[in-house]
Structure 1
């Protein structure tokens, strides 16, 4: 990317923020309910909390044409949730595999659809995941402590939200700026955990309401060399690593001992007056980039990390009459990889290989909600999005210097005979997307409603897509709700997926000639991945304080992207790159399909025993599926699933004392490895696990709460699957990722 284009990004973002201060624009939820009122609700009210995400209009969760789970602020506090991953881990049909990827740390699966970049993350309806859809860790970078509620919508959402809402939409609804409630919280825990956040609300003159919040978390994490014998770090003392490629002695200094810290922070501010709302959120997360590698194949030091930050600014204005509501929104978002981010492993000779990437988006959207009659509602809108991106480069010898043109030298290419090495080519992308959507809801009678919608998008990179949705909600009896749903979605081939490259060259003659055994190189011709899902659910009130819900679904995904040999598929490189021979080149490629099917039975109950109020919830989930292997028509089992999962949780309150216990029992986990590599039919498995988390808190005079959270209370030494085949016992990675032992955290929260 040239200097002019880089300067455009910063000027664009500065102009956006300046415009936000002048532009009248909001995506705000109306008729909000406070946390205290939520705790006093009956089961009927609790299960029909008002939501906005499924239709972009406020309605009860029971009436919404979608499966939507709502987690309230009070539940976040009682259960001690710190991250989105912890929230999703307690929900049916989600699988959270922590420590399973060196870039985005955890891999989130929803109804068999893997990767968190298939989930669109919003804050009050504004996208806060990466604008160009690089996958982000689901950790404390996303600010749960300012949430009034979190709405998790399952299934395809492209008919309303466009690209990337394939597996679902997560919308963090913030507390009202005029609530006048502020908070301060500090947490400390075992194995080097510390976190603090501050949330301030203030009403200014002329009815302006301002909110400011910030959070910082540092987690040293458990020393796995003391927990698991597989983490032998003797090489960190001797300096000689017996890697899968043979002994290596790195030249750059090492820190003795195991280090794998996580760091995250965020900053939030909002300004509201009437229908006007302006918000800014910056969040950053930094994770160890040797995750899943055996210690002899990767360096676990605190300076070996991958850091990503997103800054989002939005301004919105809502104006309404008796029948018509207009919501005008302007959004700008900027994503950047910390230039100090690096991998240090056997692929780069155990030396630091630095990475860099950035992306930005400007979006203008106009939405109209029109109440035609008591029976008919229409929602329509149009969007324009402008993107710029530098996709993730290969490993660099030094961190990118952002002054001037973006550039760098390929790792290990500089030698005495070639001191300048190979200059890395950074791709520079500029593209746009135009979209329009229309949705109608028709309720011919009180207990029956139909929803139909359609969205059209045209992207200058990959062309046009059309995504419909239809749904029917029927209540044949007072306490019975049936939902039948169908929808489609598309996942845009992000710059990260299309243009990422990794691998390195080596020389055996001091730099006169070079060669490489392996490179992963770009394929700019990728097309969108598409999906369609059919869903049926039945909710029944069994008793006054007991609800049962049965949900069944089937999804089909086409045009899936897998890594394949360049030769015989794209033929873009012909075993050569930068003029030198490469033994094997792989590229991402649209090839194959995936089918998932499953369902869950969920129970919810609110009851009292004496002076103790309880909320009991439980679910049994089953999800399975098949995939078509690259280069063949063979269907095989889907990897990285625990098909059977059982969850049960109990929240309770006795006066000023709150408590919560949540158990997840996961069945056998299917890995990416095959039992017989010559017959890709049955995959290997690793044991399931029982994960018990416990939280309790005591509130003094409705102002100060002392709380304790215990994670993995059974102290299980369990594993999660990883996203690639590691069946060879001598491979560079573990075949599954080791998880944290028991951890205890305590904290104090003040409300003022």
Structure 2
């Protein structure tokens, strides 16, 4: 039996983004609508109501947080087909595609790594991993239903809870019951492209009567992806598959490379006036468990798939208690399941099938109140309760039997007589928050709030939030915000264990296991403190600059650490690693972004946007060596523009450049791996970097086809066919870079009815 280890046991480049072309967005506008949008002043657009910043409707100028809002028209004209496309275009975000099977795309937001630190919501309801672990943020989160997307940067736990560390993303959909007219509208989209890519989506909404509205949508996507063995032949040579220095798979008998993905989603929302909303959202993503791995590390088995299915069902009731007091009752339930047939076949399990199973559930109920104290003062408060459960099983000899409990699986570790224990847990959290908003004058306002969480495993945590907004005139807004957050370790970190025995035993008949990751149930929550300063400057109605300076510190950072051997009467585990609170991290960064709307003569309109980002951060994994934070480019430049000619054609090129990215490796790459720059400090472990890259995307639109109801899109990603790498991988034993996709094109027809 595996025993828990003790707590002491971690030049300028061109770029274009937009992968794929599938979803058209709710009530898709015509290009005439886009031109009307370009004619609007940015002052009007910045007055767009948002709810992410304060859990109630306010404008971007009223919140002390740094927040960006993307309207339906912007999502469409910039060709953000899914949430990954949109994130990739944000300042301070590094997005590396196809790097891990369990989450597929790896990304950082202002230095924070991974989706388990970013809260993703749909209409204010959590749709991420229910117990706070990793989940895919890729083509599965298509934006066909989005009215707008709100992105809040920095810790927001004072309002949203434990995992709102890097920020909050809220996908907002329409309340169809309040539409201007009765009847149904919708869109259908179909596309095909290179590497066997096929995509389709639909969305329809209808106002049934004066109070009832309904919206339904969905998407399906499939791609074989590029045959990386052809595009990166040196990296993907067929080499021997070895385990414990023994050849298991001779190179001459190796299989061909494979790396396809597919995704699906289904969305439904019912509105009864403005009082009651109920909804259901499911999204699914499939990738091979060999994602990003070279031949030395994985077998390309088409059956070795990692399939996650996320389901969320929710209801929200708005009610008025008095003239100045309103409340909202929200009930939601979320579940994420990895298909029990999922398995790995790689060098860590001797190139045999090692099955995995994950089941995570969350049920929550919350009552929030908004009290208007006076013309200048408002109070907001909420009380909630959340219940969680999780199963985290890896390296199983056979598929998990979902008809049995975790303790009744009856499995043994392969090549041993040791019983296989399936880790599972249940816990709950009680939360309460209060926030006071004050408008001291027409130029000065403040926010002060605090949240208390009482976790059944990790105890209590108090997280304050303090902010100021100063607007000396119409052209300048200054914001300051201090926030704290805590992140309870997810079951994925505290429970997950993996490894395999080859059957060998020592002189005392102990089974010998090597290269295991062992569980650590003594983890503590991470603590984050962050200060941000934001300056918004609008010299004209159609030109806007935004500058965000931030500084953050993380203590009790959960990292992957080597640990001492575990010896029991039954086993001897060697060369181990585990998760532990051994790390510290701090980062300081600056994001500068701008947007300019313009007109060229009578026929051309344009929208130019872009950002430049700088970040400097250090991390100590607990080994006493301070080094650069991983998976983060210290400098980035992102530019994009849309040119529209009358209401017939549009052209949107997008550019993305980044500097070198530290990948967190502690070993230099082998002879068959791409070159990387590594430190040569003899007193410190080797840290390597992935060279920066320039990527250019291009999107062409031919509008008003088929009686003015259709648009034909040609989307080309990586136009210059740049062969570049992402600083992928994770864990102390992972030491390779991940090839990124070569040039890809999609042809898509959108039809609006």
When normalised by structure 1's length, the TM-score is 0.88
Structure 2 equivalent of residue 514 of structure 1 = 511
From 523, 538, 542, the equivalent of 1:541 is 538
8 Å Cα contact 1:293/1:734 also seen in 2:
no
Count of aligned pairs: 696
Q: 1:38: how far off?
A: 4.3
1:441-497 per-residue CA deviation (whole Å, 9 max, x = no partner) reads 101111211011100000001000000111111111221110011101111111111
In structure 1, C-alpha distance between the alignment counterparts of 2:120 and 2:142, rounded to whole Å: 12
Instruction: Give the equivalent residue in structure 2 for 1:678.
Output: 682
Matched with 1:558 is 555
TM-align CA RMSD: 2.5
Output the CA distance in 2 between the equivalents of 1:515 and 1:35: 67
In structure 2, which of residues 628, 631, 646 is the aligned counterpart of residue 637 of structure 1? 628
Counterpart of 1:532 in structure 2 is: 529
1:214 equivalent to 2:218? Answer: yes
2:711 corresponds to 1:705: yes
CA contact (8 A) 1:271 1:278 kept: yes
| Residue 566 (structure 2) aligned to one of 571, 575, 578 | 575
**Greater mean alpha carbon deviation, residues 131-140 or residues 479-488:** 131-140
Change (3 A) 1:497 1:188: same
Tell me the secondary structure at the aligned position of residue 303 of structure 2. coil
What is the DSSP-based 3-state SS (H/G/I as helix, E as strand, rest coil) of the residue aligned with 1:133? coil
> What is the distance in 1 between the residues matched to 2:579 and 2:255?
38
Question: Residue 367 of structure 2 aligns with which residue?
Answer: 366
Q: Tell me, yes or no, if structure 1 residue 467 matches structure 2 residue 458.
A: no
Q: In the TM superposition, what whole-angstrom CA distance separates every residue of 1:151-207 from its partner, at most 9, and x where no partner exists?
A: 010000100001100000000001332444311111111011111111121233563
Relative CO higher for 1 or 2, CA cutoff 8 Å, sep ≥ 6? 2
- Aligned mates of 1:711, 1:360 — CA distance in 2: 37
Partner SS for 1:226:
helix
Q: Confirm or deny: 8 A CA contact 2:66 2:152 kept in the other structure.
A: yes
- Alignment match, 2:598: 607
The aligned residue for residue 302 of structure 1 is: 302
Q: How far does residue 257 in structure 1 lie from its aligned partner after superposition?
A: 1.7
Q: Secondary structure at the match of 2:439?
A: strand
Partner residue in 2 for 1:5 = none
Q: Which residue of structure 2 aligns with residue 652 of structure 1?
A: 643
Q: What is the CA-CA distance between 1:408 and the residue it aligns to?
A: 5.0
Q: Which runs of 5+ in 1 are unaligned?
A: 1-33, 568-573, 727-731
Give TM-score scaled by structure 2 length. 0.88
Structure 2 residue 232 is matched with structure 1 residue 228: yes
Q: Work out whether residues 339 and 399 of structure 1, in 8 Å CA contact, stay in contact via their aligned partners in 2.
A: yes
* 1:512 CA displacement: 7.4
Q: What do residues 51-91 of structure 1 show as CA deviations (whole Å, max 9, x unaligned)?
A: 11000111111221211111222222222222212111111
What is the match of residue 48 of structure 2? Answer: 49
| Counterparts of 1:656 and 1:303, CA distance in 2 | 46
Deviates more, 1:467-476 or 1:514-523: 514-523
- Counterpart of 1:668 in structure 2 is 660
In the alignment, which residue of structure 1 is the partner of 2:328? Answer: 327
Q: List aligned pairs for 1:465-504, cutoff 5 A.
A: 465-504=461-500
Q: 1:592 aligns with which of 570, 577, 583?
A: 583
User: SS where residue 159 of structure 1 aligns?
Assistant: helix
Tell me the distance in 2 between the aligned counterparts of 1:35 and 1:466: 46
Question: In structure 1, what is the Cα distance between the partners aligned to 2:383 and 2:226?
Answer: 49
Q: In structure 1, what is the Cα distance between the partners aligned to 2:346 and 2:87? A: 32
Tell me if structure 1 keeps the 8 A contact 2:349–2:500: yes
Q: Relative to structure 1, is the Cα distance of residues 309 and 35 closer, same or farther in structure 2, using a 3 angstrom cutoff?
A: farther
Q: How far apart in 2 are the matches of 1:97 and 1:324?
A: 46
Q: 1:282 aligned to 2:292?
A: no
Displacement of 1:139 in angstroms is: 1.0
Change (3 A) 1:335 1:80: same
- Unpaired segments of 5 or more residues in structure 2? 1-31, 666-677
- 1:720 is matched with which residue? 726
Contact 1:48 1:61 survives alignment (8 Å): yes
Q: Deviations over 1:336-356 (max 9, x none)?
A: 111111111011111221100
Structure 2 distance, partners of 1:512, 1:218, is 49
What is the deviation of 1:357? 1.2
**Displacement of 1:296 after TM fit?**
2.8
Cα deviation for residue 538 of structure 1 reads: 1.2
